[in-house]
Amino acid sequence: MIDNFDLLPREEAFDPFSVVLFKALQVLAFLFFFALLMVAPEAKKGKIDSKAEFLISVDWPDNHPDDFDTFVQDPIGNIVWFRRREAGFMLLDRDNRGGLNAFVLVNGQKVPTETRQELVSLRGIVAGEYTVNVYHFSALTGRPVPVTVTIQKLNPVVTIVAKETIEFVQGNVEKTAARFTLDASGAVTETSHIERSILQTFYNAAPDGKAWRNGAPQ
């Protein structure tokens, strides 16, 4: 009689077939999800996703006290170096001063490192010729030091554009490690090792010869 007033919902009759079917659908859904996980593409080991297009590394012997500086000039005159760490699409990611800053930051703490390396990345493409020079800023040992410069194109796969080892026998010397030319798509069309001073391009036509360009102090 109470059903006539619709105050309480009527319980439907128990159907074992529906329960079995529902459980079967749950099992199928689980198996489908597990199969998707199994066929998902495996991450490629050693693959580095980077926004950079080119990476320039300058290396000298571990634990060496001497200070070497990297200078890179792009086709439109931008120069990246330790006093201007970002210029155009170029970025000095790591400035190494030999024994003076031989540490890396790990969780906010300074950890000593033996590595002697500077890194410059190119985050975009400007067509034309780039020049990569190394300057022996501080010579403390008085002995020859080999410095290896490696230029890598990162995309679509990592390829070595140039690799050169230069020997420095004294301080205050600038040497050209490599010059390379890019087209508008970022393809390398030419490389050379012809010497070209970047430091000389800093000076303008001021009478005292001490004025700077490309972001250096006036």
Residues 165-179 have pLDDT tens digits of 999 999 999 999 999
- The single residue listed with the structure tokens 């080119």 is 54
31-35, 83-87, 214-218 — which one is most confidently predicted on average? 83-87
98 vs 146: which has the higher pLDDT: 146
Local structure of residue 151 (DSSP, 8 states):
E
Mean pLDDT for all residues in the chain: 79
Residues forming beta bridges with residue 55, ordered by sequence position: 121, 152
The C-alpha atoms of residue 58 and residue 116 are separated, in whole angstroms, by 8
**What's at 47, amino acid-wise?**
K
Assess whether the previous peptide bond of 156 is cis (omega < 30° from 0). Answer: yes
- What pLDDT score was predicted for residue 134? 97
> Phi/psi at 130 (nearest 5 deg)?
-110, 145
Cα–Cα separations (whole angstroms), residue 54 to 158, 159, 182, 217 = 9, 10, 11, 28
pLDDT in tens, 161-214: 999 999 999 999 999 999 999 999 999 999 999 999 999 887 653 445 554 444
Q: Considering only CA atoms, which of 56, 59, 66 is closest in space to residue 93?
A: 56
Locus of tokens 């080892």? 165
Residue 55 pLDDT level (bands cut at 50, 70, 90): very high
Diameter over CA atoms, the chain: 112
Q: CB-based burial of residue 179 (10 Å sphere; 0-12 exposed, 13-18 middle, 19+ buried)?
A: buried
pLDDT in tens, 89-137: 999 998 888 755 666 667 777 666 788 999 999 999 999 999 999 999 9
- pLDDT score of 3 more than 50: no
CB-based contacts of 136, cutoff 8 Å, min separation 6: 66, 67, 68, 145, 168, 170, 171, 172, 173, 174
Do 131 and 79 meet the contact criterion of CB atoms below 8 Å apart?
no
Rounded CA gap, 23 and 14, in Å? 15
